[in-house]
Amino acid sequence: KQEVTQIPAALSVPEGENLVLNCSFTDSAIYNLQWFRQDPGKGLTSLLLIQSSQREQTSGRLNASLDKSSGRSTLYIAASQPGDSATYLCAVAANQAGTALIFGKGTTLSVSS
């Protein structure tokens, strides 16, 4: 059974710092991996999607990498801002299209000004 783990569970940094969020999964047979942002009491905002054949994806200050063989992904946030404060969720799709996602518990990020 696929399990997704995110470390750390919480992170506090001062504004301007670069930071890395970690995600690991137990079954490397994934279709893709997606990073989401969730603000308190809100739904999910998709940040980056990495297909199983890809190594990384970039969007603005965000960069996500995927090492499928080792079951790991990282989300790199450059020059963090207070507006980045949120919970970041990592989720994997099983090895075919149209399947549900399996989520980690998330990393709650707090960026202080």
Would you tell me which residues interact with other proteins (CB under 8 A)? 31-32, 34, 36, 41-44, 46, 49, 51, 89, 91, 93, 97-106
Residue 80 · residue 20 · CB < 8 Å: no
User: CA–CA separation, 59 vs 21, rounded Å?
Assistant: 15
**CB count in 10 Å sphere of residue 71:** 19
**Closer by beta carbon to other proteins, 64 or else 91:** 91
Q: At closest approach, how far in Å is the CB of 11 from other proteins?
A: 15
**DSSP sequence for 37-55:** EE-TT--EEEEEEEETT-S
Q: At closest approach, how far in Å is the CB of 15 from other proteins?
A: 25
Q: At closest approach, how far in Å is the CB of 76 from other proteins?
A: 20
Name every residue whose Cβ is closer than 8 Å to that of residue 56 and which is 6 or more positions away in sequence. 50, 63, 64, 65, 66
Q: At closest approach, how far in Å is the CB of 62 from other proteins?
A: 16
**Closer by beta carbon to other proteins, 61 or else 105:** 105
Name the CA radius of gyration of the chain, rounded: 13
**Closer by beta carbon to other proteins, 81 or else 99:** 99
**Closer by beta carbon to other proteins, 71 or else 104:** 104
